[in-house]
Amino acid sequence: MAGSAPVVATFLNSGYGTTYSAIYAGTKTVFPDVPLNSGFYAAVTADIGTEGTVVNAGWPNAVTGFCSGPYEKLMNGIFEIWSKIMPERAMACAFNLDYLLVGGKDGRSEESLYFMWYDWMAGGWGGRASKDGSGATAPAFGAGLAVQPVEGQERLSPVLTSMH
């Protein structure tokens, strides 16, 4: 990953820990039978380059809240790398996480003046020549993202959902 593009002026950059987590998660997904222990972490290495890139943003650049944005894109890159090395393990990439983010002033109460509302739109992934992948309600990370209760969202923010 050394030589990645410079940071962008938005939250779509990845921090050091997020990038390494995606590398490990992508590799572990391709090799589910390999034990997840110190031997695994020692064997899986990567050169993510110096700070100041989209995969190693560094301070004070904007980064995601870990999994939104670049995480599944990095995992997809790892899936692609392994599929070129071991075509028999090739799998479909994860649906590119998308979400609607709305924020503003909440006039319903003086205690909570502002609100932030997410609507995650996750999808399926992992289909292979030998078997189906996970469905749209089982994203590559963040189990349950696609089944957020509307009632909770409406209670915490002034956004009302008429159809989901």
Does the pTM surpass 0.85? The reply is no
pLDDT of res. 51: 95
Q: Could you count the other beta carbons within 10 Å of the beta carbon of residue 110? A: 7
Q: What is the DSSP string of 50-64?
A: SSSBTTB--TTS---
Angle between helices 16-30 and 71-85 (to 10 degrees): 40
- pLDDT tens for 21-74 read 999 999 999 999 999 999 999 999 999 999 999 999 999 998 876 666 788 889
Residue at 31: amino acid letter:
F
Q: Does position 163 have pLDDT exceeding 70, yes or no?
A: yes
Report domain extents, the chain. Answer: 1-90, 94-158
Q: What percent of the chain has pLDDT over 70?
A: 84
**Sequence-separated (6 or more) residues with CB below 8 Å from residue 29:** 75, 79, 91, 126, 140
How many whole angstroms separate alpha carbon 45 and alpha carbon 23? 8
Residues in the chain: 164
